Structure 1
Amino acid sequence: MSKSKPPHFVTLGLFIIDEFSFADENGTPTGRVVAPEIGGGGTYAAVGARIWLPSNQIGMVVDRGTDFPSSIQEKLDGYGPEMWIFRDQDHGTTRALNSYRGEHRSFEYLTPRIRITPNDIQSTLAACPRTLHFICSPTRAAAIISEVHQVEDWKPLMIYEPIPDRCIPAELPALREVLPFVYVLSPNAEEALSLLGYALPPTKVSIERAAAEFLSFGVGKSGQGVVIIRSGPLGCFALTRAHGGRWIEAYWSTEDSEKIVDVTGAGNSFLGGLAAGLYFTSDIYEASLYATVSASFTIEQGGLPAITSKKGDVQEYLWNGELPQLRLENLRARMSHYQDRVSN
C-alpha cells in the first residue's frame, strides 16, 4: 500500500442518474415532467461527507457512460473534482426510474448495475481510506469485508448500511456473520424492525429494543461497535456497549414541514456526515450531530443540496445558503437543553 496520505472517507455506493414518472392514485399520468437528476446512495453519502470535509478527503467511483450529461458533470465538479474517481464506460450510465403513484414511490433500475469493490478503490487511490461505507445485502457485505482483509495494513472503520429489500428475517443469520467486522451498523427504523421481525410502525421503545438486540449480536470486534438506527422525524438512536444509548433529535421536525421537501438520500447523507464527524471527534454521539445536520440539508429539496463559496478572508462553503457549522452549534445547544431537561 502507498504511504501517501489516504482520504478519510470512501463509499462503495453507486452513482445513478435518476429518471421520474408521475401518476395519480389511479395510475393516470399527471403530465408532470422532471429532468433527470443525480442519484444513488453513494452519491448522497459522498455529498453528506463533503458538507464537512474538503473534497480531497472523500472518494467515490463514478462509472461515466457515453450518455453522461454535461450538466451533471458540471454539478459534480462543483462539489470538488478531486472527490470523484471517473471510470469511462463504452455504454450508458447506470439509470433508474422513480415512479410516483400518488404518494407511493417505487424504484427500478433501467440499466445493469456495475458493482464497486474494495479492489477498485485500492487500484485507483494512492492510499486506502480510513473510513469505508457500503450499502448492500449481508452476503455482499461479507464479500466486501473479505476483500478488505486481503489488503495488508488496511483496517478501515466500516460503516454498513443494509439494503432495504434484504432487511428481512431470513437475512439475519448472514447479517450476524458480518457484524463483528463492522464498526457502525445503521439501518433505518423500518428496516431494523423488519430484520428482527418486530411489529411496525416503529416506536422509540421498539427502536431501542432493536438496537440492543443488534448490539448483542457483537457489532464490532469485542463488542466495541455502534448501532445507529435512523428514525426520521424521531431523530436517531445511537447505542454503544460502553456508553449506552442516546437519542439525537432530528434537525427539522414535523412542525417544520415547509423545510421537508424530499427525504430521498437522507439516510445515505446522514452516514456520510457521520463519517465526517468521526474525522473531527471519536465521540459517536457528537459525530451523530454532524450526521443529523448533513441529513437536514438533503431533505430541503429534490436532489442534492447546493454548494456555494462564501466570500471572505477564509474560504467557507454555504450549503443551501447556510453555514453547516451554525446548524451544528444550534443542534448542540438544543441537545444540551434536552439533556438538562432529562437530568432535572
Structure 2
Amino acid sequence: MDSASASASAPDEISFLSLGMLVLDELHLPNGQVLRDDIGGSGAWSMLGARIAMGHRDAQKVGSFIVAGHDFPESAIQVVRGLGVTLGIIFDPTRESTRGKLVYHDKAFNSRSSGARYASSFPLFITVLTGHVDKTFEYLTEPLQPTPAQLPRNLLAARAFHMLLPPEAVLAQVPELLSRRQAAGIRESPFIVWEPLPWKCTPENLDAHKEACKLVSVFSPNHLELLGLFGSAKPNSTDGPNDDGAKSQQAVIKKCASELFDGVADGAWQGMLVVRSAEMGCFAKSAAGGGLSNTFRPYHVDQKAVVDATGAGNAFLGALAASLGIVAQKKDSSGQATQQQDMMAAAPVVGDAVLLAEAIVRASVVASFAIEQIGFPNRTLVKGVERWNGDTFVRRYETKADAIFGGVSDSCDFT
C-alpha cells in the first residue's frame, strides 16, 4: 500500500479517531435524482460528530483515517480537509474504494420508519431486515476496513476511539490497539466506544457481545440491535402480555438493557451501556460514579424537524467519544485524576455520573444537526463563529439541554 499521513502541522494530541469506514455513497432519491460520491459511512459520520462537539478551534484534534482505493476522488479528500481535521489516508492501488448504494423509497425523509435493509454479495455481510423499511443500502465494492496496525503514531495516540465492528473483531483489535500504543510509548488508556454490526445482533451472538463489552469503555447498540440480541422478546420476563404500544416497547428496551449490563458488569466492568432509541432518546447505564441509570430525550422532540436520520447514530457516538475525553480533562483539572488500568484493558468511563450525563447531552445535541437534512449539515464560519444549519452547537447545548434532558436521576423511565 502507498500511504500519506497527517500534515506536519498536526497537533501533538488527537482527541478522537474513528476506526470506521468512509464510504462513497451513491444516493438514489425518490424523485429520480442520483447523487454520486456522497461521503458517508460510520467513519465519516462519527468524525463529523466529534468535529461538531470539539468546535473549529480544536478541529485538528479530531482525526480522520481513510483506507482508499485507486479511484478515491480528490473532491472527497477536500471535503474532509475542509473541516480542518487531521487527516491520515492510505491508498491501495490494487483495490477499489469502499462504495455503497443508498436508495430512498419514501418521499418523507424522517425516522418514523427508521429501519433499514443491509445487503451485500460479499461473504462478510448478510441481508437483515429491521422494522419498517424506507431505504435500502448495499455495498457495491468489497469494504476497506481500517485496522489499528495501519495507524500512524499521531492517530494511534488518540484519546478516544469509535469502532463499528462485530464482537470477534473487537476481541482481536482492542488488544492489538493497546499493545501497539504500549510499544509506541503511549501510556494513557484510551476511551473506546463500540457500535455493533446490526446483522450480528442475534441471540446466538449474545455471549460474544458480552465478552467484547469487557474490553471497551462504552457499548452502544440501537434499540433494534439490543432487542435482536434477545430475540426481540422480554428476557426472563414474568410480565403480562406485551402490547404494541410505545410504553411496552420502552419497558422491553429497559429490561433487555439492564439484563445485558448486569451480565457484562458482574461487579467488575466500569464501562457504560448506551442504547440509542431514535425518537425515544437514549437510555444510559453505568456503575461508575455511584451509578448512572437514566433516560435522555432527543433534542428534536418534534419529529417534523427530522429529515433523514442516516448517520445520526454514528455522529452521536463520535461526539460521545470526544466528549468523554473533554469531561475527563475537566475532572483532571479539578484535581481528581482519572482511573488508569492495565494497558491490556480498555479505560473505564469517567467515574462521575454528572460528567457522564454531560457527555451524553453533548452527543445528543450533535445528533440534532445530523438529522435535519440528507448528508452532512451545512457549515458556515462568520467572524469566528461556526454554525451548522444556521445554528451553533453552544447555543443548542446551553439553551436547550437542561430543559430537555434534565439532570441525572434514578429514574429509568422514557419520558
Q: When the two structures are superposed, what TM-score results if normalisation uses the length of structure 1?
A: 0.87
Which residue, out of 132, 145, 156, partners 1:115? Answer: 145
Cα separation, 2, equivalents of 1:126 and 1:335:
35
Per-residue deviation, residues 43-85 of structure 1 (Å, max 9, x unmatched): 10000000022222111211233333343233222111x4221
Contact 1:145 1:181 in 2 (8 A): yes
Contact 1:16 1:40 in 2 (8 A): yes
Q: In structure 2, what is the Cα distance between the partners aligned to 1:158 and 1:339?
A: 23
Which protein is richer in helix relative to its size? Answer: 1
Name the structure 2 match of 1:162: 196
Distance in 2 between residues matched to 1:337 and 1:100, nearest whole Å: 35
- Contact 1:297–1:320 (CA<8 Å) still a contact in 2? yes
Contact 1:181/1:221, CA 8 A, preserved across alignment: no
CA deviation map 1:215-257 (0-9, x unaligned): 112259822111100011111111112323111110112x341
Match of 1:334 in 2: 403
Scaled by the length of structure 2, what TM-score is found?
0.73
Superposed CA RMSD in Å reads 2.4
Q: How does 1:31-180 map to 2 (within 5 A)?
A: 31-53=32-54, 54-80=58-84, 82-90=85-93, 91-102=95-106, 104-121=134-151, 123-125=152-154, 128-151=157-180, 152=182, 153=187, 155-180=189-214
C-alpha spacing 1:221/1:41, structure 2 compared with 1 (3 Å): farther
Structure 2 unaligned blocks of 5 or more:
1-10, 107-132, 234-243, 328-349
SS at match of 1:237: strand
Paired letter, 2:99: R
Total equivalences in the alignment: 325
Q: Is the 8 A contact 2:100 2:138 kept in 1?
A: yes
Q: 1:51 to 1:219 in 2, by over 3 A?
A: farther
- Measure, in 2, the Cα distance between the counterparts of 1:304 and 1:192: 27
Contact 1:270-1:295 at 8 Å conserved across structures: yes
Alignment partners' CA distance in 1, 2:81 and 2:310: 22
What letter corresponds to residue 298 of structure 2 in structure 1?
A
Alignment counterpart, residue 6 of structure 1, candidates 13, 19, 25: 13
The ranges of structure 1 where at least 4 consecutive aligned residues each deviate by more than 4 angstroms after the TM superposition are 336-340
Tell whether 2:376 aligns with 1:304: yes
Check if 1:278 corresponds to 2:324: yes
